Every structure is written in structure tokens, then in C-alpha cells.
Structure 1
């Protein structure tokens, strides 16, 4: 699949943008260099007749993305949350991609549900509505569970979407290969690894059993979170190509004026969006990685309601600590410490100058402080950050791709609610709390306690492990120089030592 025939798909992508008139608009919105604009237009014009026509009634960029398919629609969804990057007019146009795409027939959805659950829809639901929302991969129907009377949302995958999406991703692999070959300076960005990561995310999103598990876990993690709610999952009404969750009523976050009309504190709501995301990422290491306006609602009581759990992110405990230290360093404007953390984590090659890197980070961070969002060009800031990372040879951290992308999306959502919102100020309380709980004396004691618990489990294996080590240390001797201790003594020492250490650490930590 990943052969030269994909060149045709890439050519057709550029041709579609040119034919629909989207090329010029997109390049200007992204503030592309003049040389790139000229090159793209010169190369795209001869092939424009090969591009998809799309729907002439749609604006050019929207027309191009919907014509090209679901993978491109996903990109448009991300850009719809960044009015500071693509401009408010284009961002507003692209919001249609979040949940207002053309739906497929209800009869088809009912057939999929019956096939997946092996029962007639009317036996499962007393009511099953026409589509209430349709996105790139699936659409949602409102239904009533027969018997219990619960009102639920039934999500059903589009027919044939798996093949269509994977075909688009296949072309992206070729694009990554071409970047590797034709732009050596870009190899540090690991384009193939980025596409592989995107591919794995998509695979999970196309199996609604995985999304069901993610919804269930996220619901359990956030059940005690004030002001943030996740709907309940119905396992008996979920399968590979459909899933069922509790229905949530609220105002979609894309309807900003309707939200404002409720009288809610808009700056506070914007901060809560950012803080909820960071709390889940840092506290749980499991976060909603597709938090655009189409997946968020405002409940009548002011709670944030999350939906659509096809893309979730995970980061391990060590990476969370590194990430938090980088954030808190920026928040405290301690660029030297931020630079040191990058070197300690191996994000920057060891042969680079830490002082020079700290100075470069200062040039990125300082323009943010003391200004609201309306005074900051995020497009230019991101371009500058890219220049800095390129100059110091930083490689793309594939485990952070979803986290970084989601931060961009979340900030875009928050700024749509409060244009003057400053991401750094909103992040401060959550990051400070995480640092206090996870980096310091208490965290060290907790880590030692956890290590002791793990070691104590090796008690029964200690005699054999030590005997083997002694045998290897005797350079060819078949038996150790000293007689091994009796097994019963090793067991006693292991259990007692581990137990005492755990008790001591709990006493100190408590």
C-alpha cells in the first residue's frame, strides 16, 4: 500500500486545494513565507484540473478538506480551534467539521446496530432518532433504552470509513518518506514516527470497543471532579462499530454567544477548560486528546460535559514530572531550570550549550508574559519555537505528540470563550499543586515506599537470585565459596526487611 502510487494522492491533494481556491487562503492564514506561497502556486496550478471539485456551495478551505476525506477533516477540526493562527473567519468556517457534516441514512445506522448487537433495534430501544450530529468518522442518534427508559446517545461508525481513513494515512506515510529523503534537516522531527503515532491513534478510534473502555476509565477517573462530567457507558449496548453512553444536555462550546447569554463567568469558564485538561494529564496520566468545541458542552448547572472518547492520551509518571517541571519553569520564568530539565530528560543533545538554550527559551517565553492573547501572534510564536528547537537539534518526542497537540486545541477552545485568556496564568494553580505533591520530600518518600513494596515481593526468590549471583562471581567455580543461607532464613529476611521498610516510610510520610 505504501508504494509510489501514493504520489498520485499527494498530487491530488495539492490540486484539490488549488482547484477549490483554498491554496491561497490557507497559505495566507498560516502566514507562510512569500517564497513558499509562490512555489506552492507555481507547482499547483498546472495540476489543478486533477483536483476534486468538492461542494461549490461551501467556502474554499472547507470545500477542499471535505472533498479530500476524513484524515484531512481531522486536520481541519484542529485548525478550527485556532482563530489566533488561521483567523476568526476561517476558524468559524471550519467548525462545521466538528459535528455538522452530512449524515448517512438512519436505516443504515439501524442495520449496523442490529448487526453488532445481534438483536433488532426495536427490541433494544423504544425510540431511535434521526442523526443529531455527524462528524468525520461517526454520527450520533438519540435513543431511549427499552425497559429502563434511560435516554442515551448511540454512536455509529460511518460505513466503509475504515478503508477510506487508512487510504489517506497511507499517503501520509509516503509524504513522511519524501520529507526524510528530500529535507534532511527535518529528520529530527521524526516524520515517520509522527505518522505511525497518528496511525495507531486512528486504529483505536475506528474500534469503538476501545473508545468504550476509554469512556469507562475516564468516567471513573473524573467522577469526583467538581465542575467536570463524563457520561456513563452502557457496556451491554456497545460493540466494535457502535457504542452507547448516557445522554447529556447542554450548550455546545461552539455556540459562544449562547453560553455568554447564560450569564456565566466567561474568563472563569475558559480557565476551567484549561485546568481540567492539565489536571487529567498530570494527575491521572490519561486525558481527553480531542477536546474541540464539538466534543464539549456547558451543562445547565455550569459543569463542563465531555463527549467522544475516540482519541485519548497517556503519559507515564516520569514524563509527567518532566513536563510539569518544564511548565513550572516557564511559569516562574526560570529559563535556566527549563533548559536543565530538557538536558536531564535527553530532549536536547548533551553536546549543546545549556546557557545558550536557556537564552533561546527566554526569547520564546518572555513575549507571552504581561500580555493577553489578543497581543500575541501564536503563529509567529510557534514559528520561533520551531526555529529554536531546530537550532538545538531537539528531536520530536512521539510520546508527547498528543499532549502537545491537545494543549494547542484546548488553548484554542479557551480563547474562543475568553479572547484575552492567557494559557500560562490558567495553568499555574494546577501545575503548582502537582509540583507540590509530586516533586519534593513527600514524593521522594512515596517513591521509596513504592520501591520497597516491589522489592518485598521478591522475598521468595531472593535465595535463588543470590545463589546465582555468587556462582557467577566465582569465575568458573560451580559452587559459591560460602555456603548459601537456608531458604527459610532468606524468606524471613526478605519479608521482614521489606515490611519494616514499608512501615517506616509510611510512618515518615504520614
Structure 2
């Protein structure tokens, strides 16, 4: 009861903020189901509403979330990856949410560092800048210089990320509120259940848990750095693990030119087209070669070194795509390039994505409506991010669930395309990546690659045989001890199958052995 009263009061505050920014109308049905009657909503709108000009719904919502505080800003940023729920325009507006908040005191930052690392700050850093270079919803960043050692006799320039004081408690309260609202919506609003509000909030909570433990963010940076070891085109900061803990992360300091500042790149003697070519290669390698990509690659997190290398920071949101899904994506996009819509539909069926209750022919027709407008266009003129968005929308129509990681990938593709056009309107970033795409397709989805894949699967099956046989021995021993008895009626059925009854027993035993090894 106390939780409900507390949540209703906070919900009133949310409705007031939404009304103030003209963002209440999309949520009136859900808010009414959560306990706010139409009369209350009417008075909230009358008392707190104000003219909002010609702002789009997504811009109004972004303004309201910014006013509600750090947890809601972060929630809006996570929602910006769900264009399947909000539509592309609203998702794009939420992606612009900035979480530049007032910074907390240097005393609190120093106290956190000393408590986490168990040492006075003067023994950790030769110099520590008290004024942070950025202050976001969850943490802020200070520049520092490490104590000199044998490897770095003058110390090392680093960036130190520190969590906000008591941020875990603040986020826990707001996540509990969001979960309560989601639960009420699912109970009272059947039409909104398809949006899976509880699942969305739980996904958000999981994302925040990762960002609240800076050791996990450091591990993400380390994995991404390892994937590009020896590649001069992409620079991921090195983690200083001796000065990293749950609430503190120390990493190599990177300096460079903001990724969307074309004039500054040219003034530094860099070729913008060459920078974009590197960025296209980096994006492709992350998504298809490694299946592990930076999930928030906006210009604020990316810069260009004076040597032209792409540089990235902030590893709180990462995406992972398994090999099977990468092959699915490749086959699907290849089908669009070749205008083979029946083949694309088959890819969906084979992957188990298209429900049996849906018409393959109707889905093929929907795919054709997406693919025909790009017929005859060169790869450089095709927006794969837009294609993916349309495919995800079609998937929703045919009751297919879209993987959140693919939505995150699509969001990053949209950002990459937008920045590319800003720097050079005549270039398409995917056209720059075309040689890499074609080579990857040949190596991974060409006829020879498929034969080699089938061979690997056969070898894997053979390697599993000893384990299968051991489990069969265990199963036979279990049978000998009377652990399994056949029903008399089952024996009659076996007898009626004729002389091949023993074959069915062998198949059943082999199947059981395979199951035991999974």
C-alpha cells in the first residue's frame, strides 16, 4: 500500500511535468489505467499546461524527461533504441537527449576515489583536476595525471570516471516506480500489453546495473580494445586496472577533434572522406566480424585523433550479435540487393522468426514493398538503417519479436548515416564499406563458405560422439537396473511396426544421448 501511495504521488509529478511540456496526450490512457482519472488529468493539463509551439511529440517528451531527472533521462536514451515501440521520429528525438547535469563537489569525488581504491588520492595521482570535464546522469569525469613509475617516468594523462554519490539508491527508487507503472499498465490496459512495458523496464534496469558498476564498463572497453589490437584506424582507451573499482574507473586520456567537426578536421590536415572510410570499416568490423559493438556511437562519444584514427569513449551500452544472427542479417540484406523476396521470407521461416499462423505469401509481399523502392540503386545510395527500420515495422505487423540488439544496431546505423551526410552530403558510409561487405559475404555466405560451415558442423557432431556414447552407456545401465519400463500397450505398438522395431529403439536411444549432452 505504501509503495502504491508513494508511486501515485511521483506519478502525479510525472504527469505535471509531461503536461508542462505538452507531452501528456500519448500517455493519457496508460496514466488513467494507473490510477489518474480523466478529471485529474484534465486539471493537470489546465493548471500546468503551457504553449509548446511547433515542437514534435518526441521533442516534448524529451524535454519532460530531462526535467524529471537522471533516471528518466537515461530511460529516454534507452527508449530511443526502441523505434519498434515509439516510431522512428520519436526515437530519433529521444536519441538527442543530453544528460549534462550539474557536477557534484570535488570533495565528494575525492572521497569516493579514496574509499574505493583504499589509498589517499595523493598516492594515486600526481595531479587531479577538481573541476570535472563532464557531468552526466550517472557519473562525472575528471582529468588527472598518475604517479610516475618505471614505465611512465612523468606520469600518464588519464580520465577518471566517478559515480555520483547515492546514485544507486536514486535510480533504484525511480526504477521501482517505472516497474510499478508498467505492471499497472499490463494489468489494466490490454491494448498496450503488446508493447511489453514490464520487459522494457527490466531491460532498462539491467542496462543501468551494468553502468553502475564501472568494473563492467572497464571490461567492455578492454574487450573492444582487444578486438582491434594492432589496428591503427581505431583507438580504444587502455584501462588502468590498478585505479579502477566498482565506483571509479581510470582510463587513458584521449584528445582529438569531435567526430562531427569537419572544418576542424580539414584545418588539422585530415581528409574527411578518408576518416569516414575508416569509420565505415570500424562499424562493419564491430557488427559483422566481431559481433560486439559500441552501442552509443554518437559524436559526443567519438573523436578523431590527429593521426586520423577513430577514437571512442563511454562503454556503458554495448551490443552483442551472435554468429547465427549475423548470418541471418547478411542473408536478408543480400536478398534485398538481389530483389529475391521469397528467399528473404524463407530466411525468416528457417530462423523460426515468422510464426506458423502468419502467411508466408503476405510477408513476402510486405518485403517486396520495402525492397522495390531501392531497385536499381547503387549500394552507396541505399540507407540500410532505413531498410532495417521498415523491416522491423513489418515484423511487428506479423507478430514477430525483434531482438533489442538489432534495434540498437539500427539506431547506431542511423547515427552513422546522419554524421556521414553532415560531413559529406555526397557520400554514403555504406558505399565506403562496400569492399568489406562484399569480401565478408564471400568468406562467410558464399558457396564455399557454406560447404566449410557444413564440414565444421559435421566435425563438431563427430567430436560430440564420445560424450553421446557415454550417455548412452549410462542410459543402458539405467534401463538394465529397471529404471525404465515400457507400457504393455507401447510394446504392442512396437510389435506392430514389424521387424524394424529395433531401429526405432536405437534412434530413441541416440536421441536421448544427444539430449543429455546439450
2:315 alignment partner, SS class: coil
Q: Structure 1, residues 453-510: CA drift from partner, whole Å, max 9, x if none?
A: 6754764x566434334456779599xxxxxxxxxxxxxxxxxxxxxxxxxxxxxxxx
Corresponding residue for residue 356 of structure 2: 350
RMSD after superposition: 4.2
Moved more, 403-412 or 306-315: 403-412
Match status 1:196 vs 2:196: no
Partners of 2:91 and 2:379 in 1: CA distance: 17
Partners of 1:242 and 1:184 in 2: CA distance: 44
Q: Structure 1, residues 375-413: CA drift from partner, whole Å, max 9, x if none?
A: 99x99x898656533331122434544434444444444
Corresponding residue for residue 134 of structure 1: 135
Corresponding residue for residue 486 of structure 1: none
Corresponding residue for residue 118 of structure 1: 118
Residues 52/202 of structure 1: CA separation in 2 closer, same or farther (3 Å cut): farther
1:154 alignment partner, SS class: strand
Corresponding residue for residue 325 of structure 2: 319
Q: Structure 1, residues 289-325: CA drift from partner, whole Å, max 9, x if none?
A: 1112211111111111010111112222222221222
- Check whether the contact 1:270–1:415 (CA below 8 A) recurs between aligned residues: no
1:141 Cα deviation after fit: 1.0
Match status 1:46 vs 2:43: yes
Residues 333/154 of structure 1: CA separation in 2 closer, same or farther (3 Å cut): farther
1:126 Cα deviation after fit: 0.7
1:139 alignment partner, SS class: strand
Corresponding residue for residue 482 of structure 1: none
Structure 2 unaligned blocks of 5 or more: 27-37, 51-58, 485-518
Structure 1 unaligned blocks of 5 or more: 28-40, 54-58, 479-510
Corresponding residue for residue 242 of structure 2: 236
Moved more, 402-411 or 203-212: 402-411
Residues 247/155 of structure 1: CA separation in 2 closer, same or farther (3 Å cut): same
Q: Structure 1, residues 126-169: CA drift from partner, whole Å, max 9, x if none?
A: 11112112222111111111013111111111112222223333
- Check whether the contact 1:274–1:411 (CA below 8 A) recurs between aligned residues: no
- Check whether the contact 2:389–2:410 (CA below 8 A) recurs between aligned residues: no
Residues 101/265 of structure 1: CA separation in 2 closer, same or farther (3 Å cut): farther
1:76 Cα deviation after fit: 5.5
1:374 Cα deviation after fit: 11
The number of residue pairs the alignment matches comes to 451
TM-score, normalised relative to structure 2? 0.73
TM-score, normalised relative to structure 1? 0.74
Corresponding residue for residue 104 of structure 1: 104
Corresponding residue for residue 157 of structure 2: 151
Q: Structure 1, residues 330-385: CA drift from partner, whole Å, max 9, x if none?
A: 34443322222122212221232222212212323444564999999x99x89865
2:23 alignment partner, SS class: helix
- Check whether the contact 1:336–1:358 (CA below 8 A) recurs between aligned residues: yes
* Pairing 1:158-237 to 2, within 5 Å after superposition: 158-181=164-187, 183-237=189-243
Partners of 2:245 and 2:69 in 1: CA distance: 25
Matching residue within 456, 461, 477 for 1:449: 456
1:242 Cα deviation after fit: 0.7
Corresponding residue for residue 499 of structure 1: none
Residues 477/104 of structure 1: CA separation in 2 closer, same or farther (3 Å cut): closer
- Check whether the contact 1:69–1:165 (CA below 8 A) recurs between aligned residues: no
Corresponding residue for residue 497 of structure 2: none
Moved more, 253-262 or 271-280: 253-262
* Pairing 1:222-301 to 2, within 5 Å after superposition: 222-259=228-265, 261-262=267-268, 264-267=270-273, 269-270=275-276, 272-301=278-307
